[in-house]
Amino acid sequence: MRLPTTIERLYLDFDGFFASVEQQNDKKLRGRPIGIVPFEGTDRTCVIACSREAKLLGVKNVMPVADARRLCPDILLVPQKPDLYRRAHNTLLAEIESVIPIDAVKSIDELTCRLDIGQRTNPHGLAEKLKTNLAIHVGKYITCSIGFAANRQLAKIACKIDKPNGVTIWHPSDMPAPLFLVPLDDIPGVGSNMFRRLAGLGIHNTETLYKTQAKQMRKIWNNVTGERLWYALHGYDVQAPESERGMFGHGRVLPPESRTFKGAHEICKLLLIKAARRMRRSGFYCSGLWLWLSIRDGSWSGRWTLPMVRDDQALLEGLDALWSEARKANPKHVTIFRVGITLIDITPEGGRQMDLLLDDDKQRQKWEAVTDAADKLNLRYGRTVLSQGPWNPPKGGHVGGKISYTRIPTAEDFW
């Protein structure tokens, strides 16, 4: 494993991405505290993301609207516009690519780049050029923070140091002193559970973690992730293996009028079809469904096994069976606040195997042909013109295209 002797990586994080895109898009929102909410017309939901003006008054992402209003009575609640954020993301990436090649897009608001020899000698100039280009060609209300370091992980930590709109440069010769000032729970890979576990082992700060042996960190994490983190914190050029696709799914907070079994079921059908379209575009089959319901005073989840399928008919049939189980397990008038549906046990198309005990190959081929025809028509017209059953998106729309920090929606998600 190589130990760089100079900065080699840039990590860029857009500041308050969703809120800043809204402010850039709408002059009336600029300079005002705003909170992004799933849909308008109710306070019985949460602020998904908020502007820096709201954050200065104590509002945080994923905070109940009632709490946000108590801290900031003047907060403006703005319904989410996922397709606007998708288009802004693509525009911002195009501007960055005009200055430096993007090595990897880590989320809708974060990316990393490799530096060439010239860029390593003048990181301040590179950061200034990136920020200037974005301000001129996209708008000055969407700002970013940038970190430079020997590897991606350290650059990611560095870019959080001087937010918003800052630049932080960690040369290998300066390390590890700046790293020791970072709170332990701000280190990527140290979530709330791991933070408590480390505390139980007497590791209360980043310096102590840094001085822990690599093999010991592997033991603490119970896998190679801990050892890989040790090498990253010590400045090595660590390249984590690409993760394999494990599932396709969608979830949604329900509008008040859909928080019944009937209303939630209808929305869940649309979410399932959206997830199935993504699965087919990626070239996979699935052998199971997982349904999750957030209900008053708890939750319910269930799993349903399927033959290896990818057509809407088989998947909707499996969902109906799962929904029947959910009805049996919960009171008739239960309130459902959120639903999630996931296609699990996925297999690439080339690895599909037929069930020897289930003679339904002809039926599956028929339904796959119907589903493929629908997909082609929808692709041709750029919207849902053909579906199995009614296609009535709920209040606020965005079925399959909601706000997500981890997955970047495509245009197809909004059909």
3-state DSSP of the chain: CCCCCCCCEEEEEECCHHHHHHHHHCHHHCCCCEEEECCCCCCCCEECEECHHHHCCCCCCCEEHHHHHHHCCCCEEEECCHHHHHHHHHHHHHHHHCCCCCCEEEECCEEEEECCHHHHHCHHHHHHHHHHHHHHHCCCCCCEEEEEECCHHHHHHHHCCCCCCCEEECCHHHCCHHHHCCCHHHCCCCCHHHHHHHHHCCCCCHHHHHCCCHHHHHHHHCCHHHHHHHHHHCCCCCCCCCCCCCCEEEEEECCHHHCCHHHHHHHHHHHHHHHHHHHHHHCEEEEEEEEEEEECCEEEEEEEEEEEECCHHHHHHHHHHHHHHHHHHCCCCCCEEEEEEEEEEEEEHHHCCCCCCCCCHHHHHHHHHHHHHHHHHHHHHCCCCCCCCCCCCCCCCCCCCCCCCCCCCCHHHHC
Domain boundaries, the chain: 1-175, 178-243, 248-414
pLDDT band at 379 (very low <50, low <70, confident <90, very high): confident
pLDDT in tens, 78-96: 999 988 999 999 999 999 9
Percent of the chain with pLDDT over 70: 93
Residue 384 predicted with pLDDT over 70: yes
Query: What is the arithmetic mean of pLDDT over 198-214?
Result: 96
Average pLDDT over residues 41-67: 91
pLDDT band at 396 (very low <50, low <70, confident <90, very high): low
User: What does the pLDDT average to over 252-262?
Assistant: 87
pLDDT of residue 406: 64
Contact of 98 with 85, CB cutoff 8 Å: no
Taking Cα atoms as reference points, which of 9, 30, 31, 26 lies closest to residue 112?
Answer: 9
What is the per-residue pLDDT for 415? 66
pLDDT band at 357 (very low <50, low <70, confident <90, very high): low
pLDDT of residue 410: 74
Q: Do domains 178-243 and 248-414 have the same CATH topology?
A: no
Confidence of residue 4 (pLDDT cuts 50, 70, 90): very high
Mean pLDDT score across all residues of the chain: 90
Vertex 179 angle, CA 119 and 14, to 5° = 55
- Distance, CA of 355 to chain centre: 35
Q: Are 167 and 174 in contact (CB under 8 A)?
A: no
pLDDT at residue 352, as a whole number: 67
As beta bridge partners, residue 253 has 338
What average pLDDT does range 352-372 have in this prediction?
76
Reported as a pLDDT band with limits 50, 70 and 90, residue 385 is confident
Token pair, residue 242, equals 């690409």
Confidence of residue 360 (pLDDT cuts 50, 70, 90): low
Q: Give the model confidence (pLDDT) of 306-338 as tens digits.
A: 989 999 999 999 999 999 999 999 888 889 988
Query: Higher model confidence: residue 45 or residue 195?
Result: 195
Report domain 1-175's class: alpha beta
Q: What is the pLDDT of residue 336?
A: 93
**Class for the domain spanning 248-414:** alpha beta
Query: Which pLDDT value is given to residue 354?
Result: 63
The CATH number of the domain covering residues in 178-243: 1.10.150.20
